[in-house]
Structure 1
């Protein structure tokens, strides 16, 4: 177990990191708006599930090898960039859709639920994010007692991160879902998809240009 001081320091750091808007929050907002509240929650579950793999890799030192090996980091970087751009294009396509005349007002941009798709998008977004690997490699070891079981401590801290991130992202999903009850014109939904898609494409391009 990490010492009390280490644990509380980690709790403060990970809370600040969790509530800082980023790709994860954006993906939860996008998927909640695309279908429903459960979609955002399942997306969050996928995102947070990836934290345990990053923690395990950090504990056994694979993340360090990955970052120090130029070709491996480049491969991960491009995989993450392509995936973010793909998500962005999907959102832009959603923004370009126009509902049929008989469709209910306000539901023209909503798709049928697909829980596996939501979970998969969240998980892959986290696993293909080189910044997540770098974060767990650089930050997590700072809060682990080297005299204790490193893997157990890393997974325990990832579990704390999991709970905090799930609570925050689900709260965001609830806020987005409730906003859909308002009489929002369909063009606003399409505009939000367009903005989200543009941001995803921009982030993907930025990741692709990141130097190893």
Structure 2
């Protein structure tokens, strides 16, 4: 693989990564609820799911999955339901306005990781992006390390972006933890997740 081609791939991947989506919304929600620990755990869950989809695509399995409509539709509707459930949780939290410190709560990391992983692994748009982008840069003689490099680029960039987001939220935690601010952010997050759920349902 020519390095100029990889730079092009890297720039496209970076543009996609910085575009807010369901992953960003879930990391934002958990960083607000559980601080740095919850946000980083969610980011790691997202990264794991992205890496799995990248490896599947590079190995050719992504094409088989995308061509199996029952499988793809099942995954899509699971994602729709999960995003809708997260949206309802955020909106309910905004409505009730009852917030307690959760930084020391047991299970924060496991719950955050699980939510990040499920939000991404049930999003067929990620797999479709890989399937649309990879063939533009893949060649029959491409070595295995080059395929691995391409498959690993999106997870690494995504993890960096989400961890930076978490640290920014954590640095402003005192202001963000105000009840009025939390209610506004929960409302925005809930509406964003609900909109994303609707968008996936209509795709």
Q: 1:133 aligns with which of 127, 138, 142?
A: 127
Between Structure 1 and Structure 2, how many residues are aligned? 200
Question: TM-score when scaled to structure 1?
Answer: 0.86
Question: TM-score when scaled to structure 2?
Answer: 0.89
* Structure-1 residue corresponding to 2:148: 155
- Confirm whether residue 170 of structure 1 aligns to residue 169 of structure 2: no
* Largest Rg, 1 or 2: 1
* Structure-2 residue corresponding to 1:48: 47
Q: 2:185 aligns with which of 183, 192, 198?
A: 192
Q: C-alpha distance in 2, partners of 1:116/1:95?
A: 23
Query: Which stretches in structure 2 are left out of the alignment for 5+ residues?
Result: none
Post-superposition Cα deviations, 1:136-160, rounded to whole Å, max 9, x if no partner, equal: 111123222320245x433322322
Post-superposition Cα deviations, 1:19-61, rounded to whole Å, max 9, x if no partner, equal: 1111111111111011101211111111011122112221232
* Structure-2 residue corresponding to 1:65: 64
Change (3 A) 1:109 1:21: farther
Is the Cα–Cα contact under 8 Å of residues 94 and 109 in structure 1 kept in the other structure?
no
- Confirm whether residue 27 of structure 1 aligns to residue 26 of structure 2: yes
Which structure dedicates a bigger proportion of its chain to helix? Answer: 2
* Structure-2 residue corresponding to 1:83: 82
Shift of residue 93, structure 1, vs aligned partner:
2.2
Query: Which stretches in structure 1 are left out of the alignment for 5+ residues?
Result: 100-107
Secondary structure (helix, strand or coil) at the match of 1:181 reads helix
* Higher mean C-alpha deviation, range 127-136 or range 88-97: 88-97
